[in-house]
Amino acid sequence: MDVKAAQRLQLSAVVQPERFGRRPPFSTCRLGVSREPQSLRVFVSPMMMRRRTTALEVSSSYDNISASILESGSVHAPLDEELILKNRSQETQPYLNGRCIYLVGMMGSGKTTVGKIMSQVLGYSFCDSDALVEEEVGGNSVADIFEQHGETFFRNKETEVLHKLSLLHRLVISTGGGAVMRPINWKYMHKGVSVWLDVPVEALAQRIAAVGTNSRPLLNYEAGDPYTRAFMRLSAIFEERGEAYANANARVSLKKIAIKLSKRDVSELSPTDIAIEALEQIDNFLKGEGGGYAEC
């Protein structure tokens, strides 16, 4: 007998002003799941109804951001960047109309850090689909899930999480790097707006080599020094997934942003630079309302 999940999502916020500079804190989400036959219920608090979004269990923390420029760098931005970001978000919000934003891209591409910045400025909540899968499997890490249950089990759980998230609104969602490989996942993600963070493989390898591959189960089987190991495996993964990433509604190419901002290398880009460009490409896509593929 088919059983559908009933979701209860409540709102609470942990405010840590010293961590956020001039920005309001972002909210992260967690799906609380209970099971009842033949039903799917989403409980909504009065406060969140006013914001036209489902209530969420929220926690706020920068403690788990890893050590690269995009994954552990400060999310503070200069005043001019803050102003540009705010103006850009105000231009984009009317077109978004509460739709979720799904960030796709290779592991280490900065989806989490950029997503948190975008969620702050848009007044959205932030979700990490990998973290939600971990929660549904008893708190085990992605690496442990791969080791104990296999990749297919993880991908099935990932699809379940994306299905649940597709029923909600006003979320910025960081997806797993391999989520793009299942057509059913695109069905769910295209209920919102999908954005591909396109980072050169060389830059990805440098970031991941700097912080280690222990949390990256697909990178732990290559020989050689950390950079070479990461580069070789990431190159192979990108060959497999490149066309799938191109299904996104908008593409944010870090190479093109670096050229536009007269940066010598993508490593000089700040997470805010990338968030600004992502909002611009979302805006371009939405103004065309499905008229194609927005690209930086």
For 259-273, the pLDDT digits (tens) are 999 999 999 999 999
Name the band, by pLDDT with cuts 50, 70 and 90, for residue 214.
Answer: low
Q: Which residue, among 272, 289, 288, 276, has the nearest Cα to 113 in the 3D structure?
A: 272
pLDDT at 80: 87
Q: Which residue, among 200, 291, 181, has the nearest Cα to 247 in the 3D structure?
A: 181
**Mean pLDDT for all residues in the chain:** 78
Structure-block tokens of residue 214: 């222990």
Rounded Cα gap, residues 213 and 175, in angstroms: 18
User: What does the domain layout of the chain look like in residue ranges?
Assistant: 63-295
- Which range of 68-77, 150-159, 211-220 scores highest in mean pLDDT? It is 150-159
pLDDT at 28: 65
Mean pLDDT value across residues 113-136: 97
pLDDT above 90 covers a percentage of the chain that reads 59
Name the band, by pLDDT with cuts 50, 70 and 90, for residue 19.
Answer: very low
How distant is the alpha carbon of residue 159 from its chain centre? 15
pLDDT at 288: 86
Better-predicted residue by pLDDT, 29 or 218: 29
Q: Could you report the per-residue pLDDT of 243-295, keeping only the tens digit for each?
A: 999 999 999 999 999 999 999 999 999 999 999 999 999 999 999 864 444 45
Integer-rounded Cα Rg, in Å, for the chain is 18
Mean pLDDT value across residues 83-99: 95
Beta bridge mates, 250:
195, 294
CB-based contacts of 197: which residues, under 8 Å, 6+ apart? Answer: 103, 104, 105, 109, 110, 111, 114, 252, 254, 274, 278
* Helices 151-165 and 129-136, axial angle in degrees (round to 10): 110
**Is the pLDDT assigned to residue 94 strictly greater than 70?**
yes
pLDDT above 70 covers a percentage of the chain that reads 67
CATH (residue range 63-295): 3.40.50.300
Q: Could you report the per-residue pLDDT of 147-156, keeping only the tens digit for each?
A: 999 999 999 9
**Is the pLDDT assigned to residue 167 strictly greater than 60?**
yes
**Is the pLDDT assigned to residue 137 strictly greater than 90?**
yes
